[in-house]
């Protein structure tokens, strides 16, 4: 799908963004593990969420609207289902989550199959490989032109399970909770948790076990650092083994991805002075604003609060003079989530910007970093791509008649911000997610006093 994007004015005024779609999707998935009814307060209808509701109803789950929001529940026999069909209209977060839940529901004597269209194969393959790595047994075949994966429970891997990215952590946590057996794995210290703004609402957290190291181990680590550079210490994470989750009352805050769009727009458009009200700010996804401040952007979190473990705040965004910096995922929690926004903001910066440690974005079936690099090149931006990152230099007068986001939602939203800040108009291809997930983007972001 192509979108025509024209140059827009600077953002000015106060904006109350629609609910955070990532928080809503993850809370809905967790609600399917709770026997009661979970309320998502502040839920707003979009074409994407209507697809989700229809799918939930289709599998026998509860997805009803009331005066306060959306009520979600699992239905009486969800765990007994032998087959789940991934609707091609489901958002990527829901589709991958369903695959993880199905794997967790399965057992050697009770296989669970997941059926999907060939178009969904790249997405499913990535998450299926992560589940296999953690020991879930999966066999694939083709049935009547559709792809089918049959899960048969989990055989713990012989080696120690080490998590190498946020996707793996999310997949293993969801599948571990669904299995009712929990899961234990190792992960670099201070790694961000993509579920951190959803699990607390259900009274849960992934436990961190910090082992005491001996002086000999500390000395060995220092030697390794001198030889190979920084070595991140691993910590043990324990996903709790629970029979079911309690019901939750979830307050959906402002969409963090749209807040990122606003922040990038502020970096690109002179005269921007906008206040974003009550935005969700989980550590796993909110590092964009700190990175932009390091580059010189005028961004301030003027109020920050926390409710049931979910941080949120008001963000003031103003235009500022930008200078390129170096960012590595080992030092910047959640860099992979907002790399596209950071790269687009760097188009307005002096000197080079380097983003590294992003191999998680370059998986075989879903190379989002390549899509981002090609999209920026279409605007005349000089981009160098390497195995786990990219380097780019700012461009004084970027512009493109055509650009392609290749179906990547984060890349599409970031390129949309860039296209709306360039002279003329841009035909943005592969951006069908935007009108579905964020309909009428500029109308939704109209100031409250307009």
Per-residue pLDDT of the chain (450 residues; tens, 9 = 90+): 788 999 888 899 999 999 999 999 999 999 999 999 999 999 999 999 999 999 999 999 999 998 899 999 998 889 999 999 998 889 989 999 999 999 999 999 999 999 999 888 888 888 999 999 999 999 998 888 899 999 999 998 878 899 888 889 999 999 999 999 999 999 887 777 888 778 888 988 888 886 666 677 666 656 655 555 555 678 899 999 999 899 999 999 999 999 999 999 999 998 999 999 999 998 888 899 999 999 999 999 988 887 766 789 999 999 988 999 999 988 888 899 999 999 999 999 999 999 999 988 887 777 899 999 999 999 999 999 999 999 999 888 899 999 999 989 999 999 999 999 998 899 999 998 999 999 878 666 655 444
Cα separation, 102 vs 106, whole angstroms: 6
Cα separation, 108 vs 111, whole angstroms: 6
Cα separation, 57 vs 39, whole angstroms: 16
One fold for both 3-19+253-444 and 21-213+231-251? Answer: yes
Q: In whole angstroms, how far apart are CA 318 and each of 263, 265, 300, 315?
A: 8, 9, 9, 10
Enumerate the domain spans of the chain: 3-19+253-444, 21-213+231-251
Q: Token digits for 171?
A: 């997949």
pLDDT the model gives residue 164: 80
Question: What are the helix (H) ranges across 300-392?
Answer: 335-345, 368-378
Question: What are the helix (H) ranges across 229-354?
Answer: 256-268, 288-294, 335-345
Residue 161: how many CA atoms within 13 Å on its side-chain side?
21
Architecture of the domain delimited by 21-213+231-251: Alpha-beta prism (3.65)
As a 3-state breakdown, the chain gives helix, strand, coil percent values, each rounded to 5, of 35, 30, 35
For residue 393, count other CB atoms closer than 10 A to its CB. 16
Beta strands 382-386; 352-356: pairing state: unpaired
Cα separation, 186 vs 171, whole angstroms: 14
pLDDT the model gives residue 1: 75
pLDDT the model gives residue 208: 83
- 3-state class of 55 per DSSP? helix
* Domain 3-19+253-444 fold: UDP-n-acetylglucosamine1-carboxyvinyl-transferase; Chain (3.65.10)
At CA 84, angle to CA 80 and CA 89, rounded to 5?
145
At CA 5, angle to CA 280 and CA 358, rounded to 5?
50
pLDDT the model gives residue 217: 60
pTM score:
0.89
For residue 412, count other CB atoms closer than 10 A to its CB. 27
pLDDT the model gives residue 209: 80
pLDDT the model gives residue 310: 77
Q: Token digits for 155?
A: 């055989």
pLDDT the model gives residue 345: 96
Closest CA to 282 of 337, 358, 344: 337
pLDDT the model gives residue 308: 66
pLDDT the model gives residue 221: 57
292-326 exposure pattern, b = at least 16 Cβ within 10 A, e = fewer: beebbbbbebeeeeeeeebbbbbbbbbbbebbbbe
Please say whether the beta carbons of 104 and 178 come within 8 A.
yes
End-to-end CA distance of the chain, in Å?
A: 31
Cα separation, 355 vs 28, whole angstroms: 32
Beta strands 3-6; 62-66: pairing state: unpaired
């Amino acid at each position: 799908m192509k979108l025509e994007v024209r140059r827009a004015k600077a953002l000015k005024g106060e904006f109350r963004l629609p609910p955070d779609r990532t928080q809503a999707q993850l809370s809905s998935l967790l609600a399917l593990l709770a026997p009661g009814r979970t309320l998502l307060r502040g839920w707003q209808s979009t074409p994407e969420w209507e697809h989700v509701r229809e799918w939930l109803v289709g599998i026998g789950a509860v997805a009803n609207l009331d005066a306060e929001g959306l009520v979600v529940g699992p239905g009486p026999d969800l765990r007994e289902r032998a087959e789940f069909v991934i609707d091609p209209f489901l958002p990527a977060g829901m589709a991958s989550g369903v695959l993880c839940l199905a794997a967790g529901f399965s057992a050697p004597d009770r296989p669970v199959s997941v059926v999907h269209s060939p178009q969904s194969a790249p997405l499913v393959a990535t998450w299926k490989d992560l589940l296999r790595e953690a020991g879930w047994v999966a066999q694939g075949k083709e049935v009547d032109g559709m792809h089918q994966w049959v899960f048969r429970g989990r055989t713990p891997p012989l080696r120690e399970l080490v998590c190498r990215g946020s996707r793996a952590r999310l997949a293993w946590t969801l599948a571990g909770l669904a299995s009712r057996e929990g899961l234990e794995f190792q992960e670099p210290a201070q790694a961000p948790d993509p579920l951190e703004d959803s699990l607390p609402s259900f009274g849960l957290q992934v436990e961190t076990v910090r082992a005491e190291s001996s002086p000999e181990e500390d000395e060995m680590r220092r030697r390794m650092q001198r030889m190979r550079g920084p070595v991140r210490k691993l910590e043990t994470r324990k996903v709790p083994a629970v029979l079911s989750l309690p019901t939750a009352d979830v307050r959906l805050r402002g969409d963090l991805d749209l807040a990122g769009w606003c922040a990038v727009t502020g970096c690109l458009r002179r005269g921007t002075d906008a206040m974003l009200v009550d935005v969700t700010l989980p550590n796993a996804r909110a590092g964009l604003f700190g990175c932009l401040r390091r580059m010189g952007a005028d961004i301030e979190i003027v109020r920050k609060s926390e409710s049931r473990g979910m941080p949120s705040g008001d963000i003031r965004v103003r235009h500022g003079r930008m200078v390129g910096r170096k960012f590595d995922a080992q030092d910047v929690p959640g860099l992979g989530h907002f790399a596209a926004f950071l790269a687009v903001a760097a188009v307005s910066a002096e000197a080079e910007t380097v983003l590294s440690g992003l191999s998680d974005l370059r998986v075989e079936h879903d190379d989002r970093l390549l899509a981002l690099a090609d999209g920026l090149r279409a605007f005349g931006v000089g981009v160098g791509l390497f195995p786990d990152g990219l380097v780019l230099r700012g461009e004084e007068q970027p512009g493109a008649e055509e650009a392609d986001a290749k179906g990547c939602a984060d890349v599409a939203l970031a390129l949309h911000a860039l296209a709306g800040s360039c002279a003329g108009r841009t035909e943005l291809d592969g951006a069908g997610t935007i009108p579905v997930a964020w309909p009428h983007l500029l109308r939704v972001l109209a100031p409250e006093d307009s």
